[in-house]
Amino acid sequence: MQRAKSGLESISDLSIRTDACLADYTRFGLGGPADVLAEAGTEAAFIAAIQSVRSAGIPLEIIGGGSNLVCSDEGFRGVVLRYIAQRIHQDVNCVTFEAGAVLQDLVDFTIDRGLAGIHTMTGIPGWTGGAVYGNAGAYGHSIHESVSRVRFFDGSDVREFGNAECQFRYRESIFKQRKDWVIFAASLELTPGDATELRKQADEILAVRNAKYPPTMKCAGSIFKNLLFAELPAGAQAEVPPKVVREGKVPSAWFLEQVDAKGIRNGGIQVADYHANLIYNEGDGTAAQVREIIDDLKARVLARFGFRLEEEVQYIGFR
């Protein structure tokens, strides 16, 4: 670590913490210490940090707001790097934002200016870079519908992609497939709307979301992706009631309910008794217990329906 640490300390616009507890950087509130946690405030600092760590041969993980992360109880032996630039700028109907901006701040920014397109994403935790990375969305809409450009670092150069090049799919993008690429900024093309009406719609959505996922709850929201009905095995399709299918998707919670997932507990980690796709930390849980419950639920659904659920969460530090 010493060579990498020394190199990082000489980089401007980079803050460094040693033995940083990753639990402090995740919504689950779980995770042991990282040898070094570095936060870059500029693209240049971020690129310099990556180059320094890689040239020293030190393990590296890049994270954002931590809303969808499960970090190992043992922590991470290496450098965890975050890009924290967070400016948001409007040019008529185009809004450009840096990846470290809080997603709710971006949603509020657009609503306040009477721009429609991402107001249904109110209440989704995390940062904007992660929202583009995972094509976040809610209530039948995803952020890819509004994305016009994405600026990113491919490990060698800073590049830009248009919407089609990003290969957005349901909760997917090319950036999720190329984990060596890092989003720096993106632009949205939005539609003019009435700010008062947009705020009203957003507040109604937020009330529902907060009832399901209280802001103080230590969780990652939905654990598993919903399923595209057309991609399910024929046997599973035959069992799904038509009323459950919405916009071509089946909630993973429906399959989990059929295998009695609600209320399952493992130590301090529990599946909510009112929502089968919600796992939360009661305060004394461990990341290992989260992983064990996730593996158990996947095994149950596989045995019953013949397919594997896919997590929305990402893992750090697990062997």
Note the CATH architecture for domain 214-316.
Answer: Alpha-Beta Complex (3.90)
How much is the pLDDT for 3? Answer: 45
314, containing H or E segment:
strand 314-316
Q: Where are the domains of the chain?
A: 2-83, 88-197, 214-316
Each of the 319 residues of the chain gets a pLDDT tens digit; together they read 444 455 799 999 999 999 999 999 999 999 999 999 999 999 999 999 999 999 999 999 999 999 999 999 999 999 999 999 999 999 999 999 999 999 999 999 999 999 999 999 999 999 999 999 999 998 889 999 999 999 999 999 999 999 999 999 989 999 999 989 999 999 999 999 999 999 999 999 999 999 989 989 999 989 999 999 999 999 999 999 999 999 899 999 999 999 999 999 999 999 999 999 999 999 999 999 999 999 999 999 999 999 999 999 999 999 8
Cβ atoms of residues 135 and 170 within 8 Å: yes
69: how many CB neighbours lie within 10 A of its CB?
A: 25
pTM of the model: 0.91
182, containing H or E segment:
strand 182-189
Q: In the CATH scheme, what is the code of domain 2-83? A: 3.30.43.10
* 88-197 is classed CATH 3.40.50.2300: no
Q: Exposure pattern of 194-219 as b/e (b: 16+ CB <10 Å)?
A: ebeebbebbeebbeebeeebeeebbb
How much is the pLDDT for 319? Answer: 81
Positions marked active-site: 171, 222, 312
The 14-21 sheet, strands edge to edge: 14-21, 33-40, 76-83, 60-63
Q: Smallest Cα–Cα separation from 87: which of 185, 188, 190? A: 185
How much is the pLDDT for 58? Answer: 95
Cα–Cα distance, 251 to 166 (Å, whole number): 25
295: how many CB neighbours lie within 10 A of its CB?
A: 10
SS3 content of the chain, % helix, strand, coil (to 5): 35, 30, 35
How much is the pLDDT for 5? Answer: 55
